[in-house]
Chains A and B, each alone.
Chain A
Amino acid sequence: MNGNELLASIRAVVGDDYVIAHREDLLVYEYDGSVDRSMPRAVVLPADTDQVSRVMALAYEAGVTVVGRGSGTGLSGGAITPPEGLQIAFPRMDRILDVDTVNRTALVEPGVINLDLDNHVRRFGMRYAPDPSSQRACSLGGNIAENAGGPHCLAYGATTNHVIGMEVVLEDGEIVHLGSMAREAAGYDLRGAFVGSEGTFGITTKILVRLLPLPETVRTFLGIFPDIDSACTAVSAVIGHGIVPAALEMIDALSIKAVQNVTDAGYPNDAGAVLLIELEGLNEEVDEVSGEVEAALWDTGAADVRVAEDDAERERLWVGRKTAFGAFGTIAPNYYLVDGVVPRTRLTQMLRKVTEVSERYGITIANVFHAGDGNLHPCMLFDAREPGVMESAMAAAAELMEECALLGGTLSGEHGIGLEKKEFMPLVYTDADMEAMQRVREAFAPKNRLNPGKIFPDGSYWRPSAHPAAYTAGMYI
């Protein structure tokens, strides 16, 4: 079967209108939120599981690779499709099929937007906890592929903790069920293996997620510190008290400046760092823990501790945090964000390394990150038009990755490995480790037809966009 015959058979399955194959249209399916791009042969928009299965079977027979695409907001190149590969996207599979308020679950299709699900279940007094910064655009299918996180994953865990079961189509079109449609599953936890497999194991077509009751009270604190070291100590002190806040975010002096340039989020301009801490739970519980949190902040040298008085003030504090990366545009035209993790007791040490690397390479680095779970996002700010600066930024990023690994951390908190970081994998895994992973992948996708070329090193290093105009403005996320 040649390419055109394959497309004709696929059109017969999904309908002519639901295959995008004109290259002028495909120009918009060659990117995601990362810096890579590659044009697929076609994009298929199936309506249901059966169509996904039949399309995958046809592609399998033709020996064509398949990549799933959610909303294309990923930051590691997960949805980038190899040339001649087929992309499957889910705009037509975006239904919330069922909300079970008694068992607190929702059955959804992969195209459902994260925030739409959360908003939908709020009317029943429930929530969907994982809240990546892209939550108003990203889809549940994509969240599963990347095991997406978010500020509130500190207390509630990342996507994997909220997925109970899945219907999945394998590379040859076979439909299997992973996990369970009940709360507990017998046998191997293949659901756990699948979440975060970055589209290399199969394509999800139905998802059963766990919902949580809305908290009775939410209280948000702003801890203001003279320097980043004392803020790091405060993070350890809060957690050391046995408190697990719903969110615990750090914003350094440079990021405060950037945020305040754009909007008044209520962060003091002269602070060395601020901590954004959110407690949730029953009224009594929150009252009790609030005292302990405040004490921990004062004890570790806070210059001031503020509590959001109302929803509007709380919102304002969060807007600052969530728009920080966009606000870096006021400091430098380009940025490159590194997603890395260290044990939270090593935060101070890691941030010192960041400062040292910043000085040695002469590159400004801002820090705004999920301090509670040690998930750093050092962000290099530069002007890519300066000769050699891109190379320096990439080299500095590599050093930071190495340091994360050295301190017992890992390469990615929530963005995935994809194309961006695959060459760094040997920093944290031995050959034997990675071979074990590949064997699991082989069990799911023996022909490796799903999202190939991602996650594992193969010598093709990540590189920035080839068009020089991209350097003149804008940012690398």
Chain B
Amino acid sequence: MVSAPDRHSDAGQHMGGGIDAGHGFPYGLPFEGSLNDGPGFAGSDAPAEADLYRCVHCGLCLSACPTYVETRLETESPRGRIALMKAVHEGRTGISDRLVSHWELCLQCRACEAVCPSGVPYGRLMEHTRAQVQDNGLQSPELGRLSRLFLKAALPHNRRLRLAGHLMRLYQRSGVQGLVRKSRLLGLMPGDLAAMEAQMPVMGRQFFEPGSQVFPARGEKQMTVGLLSGCVMPLMQGDAMRAAVRVLQRNGCDVAVPAGQGCCGALNLHAGDLELGRQLAKRNIDAFKQAGVDVVVTASAGCGSSMKEYGDLLRDDPEYAEAAHEFARNTRDITEFLAGLPLDPPSAQLPWRVTMQDPCHLAHAQRITEAPRQVLRSIPGLELVEMAESSLCCGSAGFYSLIQRDMSRRLQRRKIGNATATGAEVIASANPGCISQLEQGLQNAGAEAQVMHVVEILDAAYQAEG
């Protein structure tokens, strides 16, 4: 047996600072007790131990994570964020501002989940972690303010949203916005307010409204579908909503957009407000049940992803568990729904060069990448070109772009660079957040291309038939 190598026996004395005293070789846990006096995880919504320890820190998630790819820092990786959750769970640290900053830099794009060989439910872990952070009032001030303003006071309330939408449209179209932007007023506003002004979504020319009306199928009726109007999409992208209705009608569907529905709760859930998320889920379950539809279709990938998880969200609710499960099972992304039909192909040529940007909540959370491409390929004359990193997050991620402005901008630039490198004149997407982010990115870059929802492109092809 060889004698042990002359190890760094003197290192401990040289590296002062009083840290980890008494722990030399063999390697092992570096300390006992907690690193700080922050709160731990508690209650029934805490991240589950079984979920946490599915992660064996193999590192195969690293290269899929947008924030890791940008920073190459372990603290900004999925594996690192889970390690911090485990550390809280094990009582080695409490929740602190520092931990929260790493968790909040996560886009919740779930790209890591799609590549994880161990099947770690990262999205669920992060939502439950955010819930613990919120319960303890430890969100960053920016996220806290925005949560109160948007997630609680605006999104769940359709009338308030519509009013805000009208005001924003007035602001944008009356010329006031131009004046404000030219003046020095923005420079006087607090940082996040000015940024919010800069990132304010452009309101559509015409809003789209749910109601009791049913849009009838063209030709023989195959089924009745319910369309989610949700919260902001009918205000920002009313054209895409109307295109969705027309495309569904054209393919033999009666389309109901029942009043009484509202926000799907995705953003509340991502931010950790599980309770409000559950209330919003119940409201939608009730609204669509009353409408008596066969399937619920959504043109928003982020909403579809959350709606497909209603079953999990409400599994402990005796009254809603079953209905939530059924609702989830009957939810379809619109591209998934169309690709699953014998789709009536457009007969007119649409000679466009198009590249597909995969929304995270479609590609990663719902694992749907082929369906939108299948729909696009059904259009005669359309040339589909692939961009590099098509499923790397564009940086929109709900309110992320307002809170993590730097990282959001970096990812936006990266995405626009990849998209424009294809020479495509149209960037196709399937999620309202991505569409706004891409439009703004193109504008910043001074690029010519146009952003459209996949169904808007299909609708354009149908319209071209004349």
Contact = CB atoms under 8 A, between A and B. Distances in A.
Interface in A410-456: 419, 426, 431, 434-435, 438, 441, 447-449, 452-453, 456
B99 A24 contact: yes
Given A33-B58, A329-B119, 15 more contacts: A3-B14, A3-B19, A24-B36, A36-B27, A64-B15, A73-B58, A82-B7, A115-B63, A325-B117, A456-B2, A457-B4, A469-B53, A470-B53, A472-B50, A475-B118
B191 interface: no
Nearest to A2: B16
A143 B75 CA distance: 22
Interface string A458-471: 11100000110110
Nearest to B117: A326
Q: Secondary structure at chain B's binding surface: helix, strand, loop or mixed?
A: loop
13 contacts: A25-B75, A25-B102, A31-B57, A41-B17, A73-B60, A91-B72, A137-B59, A137-B61, A441-B5, A447-B6, A452-B7, A476-B56, A477-B56
Contacts of A63: 8, 10-11, 14
Contacts of A343: none
B83 A27 contact: yes
A82 B15 contact: no
Which of B6, B25, B28, B117 gathers the greatest number of chain A CB atoms within 10 Å? B117
B16 A469 contact: no
B93 interface: yes
B332 interface: no
B73 interface: yes
A65 B60 contact: no
B11 A475 contact: no
Interface string B23-59: 1111111110001100000000000011011111111
A460 B25 contact: yes
Interface stretch (B84-92, B125-133, B156-164): B84-92
A426 B92 CA distance: 37
Contacts of B63: 113, 115, 136-137
Nearest to A114: B63
B74 A72 contact: yes
Interface residues of A, number: 78
A25 B2 contact: no
Given A4-B16, A458-B5, A28 B74 contact: yes
Sorted from nearest, which 4 A-B pairs have the closest CB atoms? A326-B117, A91-B72, A460-B26, A2-B16
A3 B7 contact: no
Given A63-B10, A476-B56, A28 B75 contact: yes
A323 B60 CA distance: 11
A206 interface: no
B98 A25 contact: yes
B347 interface: no
Most buried by A among B12, B59, B99: B59
A9 to B, nearest CB: 13
B71 interface: yes
B341 interface: no
Q: With a 10 A CB-CB cut-off, give which of A134, A431, A447, A473 has the most chain B CB atoms.
A: A473
Nearest to B31: A39
A477 B58 contact: yes
A1 B30 CA distance: 23
B417 interface: no
A426 B1 contact: yes
B85 to A, nearest CB: 10
Contacts of A91: 71-73
A113 B59 CA distance: 12
A4 B18 CA distance: 10
Contacts of B62: 71, 73, 137
B27 A466 contact: no
A27 B92 contact: yes
Contacts of B57: 31-33, 72
Contact of B15 (A62, A326, A431): A62
A252 interface: no
A30 interface: yes
A89 B15 CA distance: 19
B80 interface: yes
A469 B58 CA distance: 18
Contacts of A360: none
B116 interface: yes
A441 B116 CA distance: 38
B15 A329 contact: no
A136 to B, nearest CB: 5
A23 B19 contact: yes
Interface string B111-122: 000001111000
A409 B20 CA distance: 40
Given A31-B57, A473-B53, A475-B118, A438 B11 contact: no
B96 interface: yes
A301 B63 CA distance: 42
B74 A453 contact: no
Contacts of A327: 117
Interface in A275-328: 323, 325-327
B29 A466 contact: yes
Contacts of B60: 73, 134, 136-137
Given A25-B75, A28-B74, A84-B15, A469 B27 contact: no
Nearest to A325: B117
Given A3-B15, A64-B14, A113-B63, A31 B83 contact: yes
A3 B58 CA distance: 31
A63 B96 CA distance: 33
A83 B35 CA distance: 16
Contacts of B54: 329, 473-474
Contact of B7 (A38, A73, A448): A448
A473 B50 contact: yes
Interface string A104-118: 000000010101000
B230 to A, nearest CB: 33
A32 B14 CA distance: 26
Contacts of B17: 2-4, 41
Contacts of B116: 326
Contacts of B72: 91-92, 94, 111
Contacts of A435: 2
Nearest to A5: B16
Contacts of A6: 14-15
Contacts of A39: 20, 30-31
Residue of A2, A4, A25, A460 contacting most chain B CB atoms (<10 Å): A25
A6 B16 CA distance: 9
Contacts of B6: 447-448
A38 B80 contact: no
A164 B27 CA distance: 34
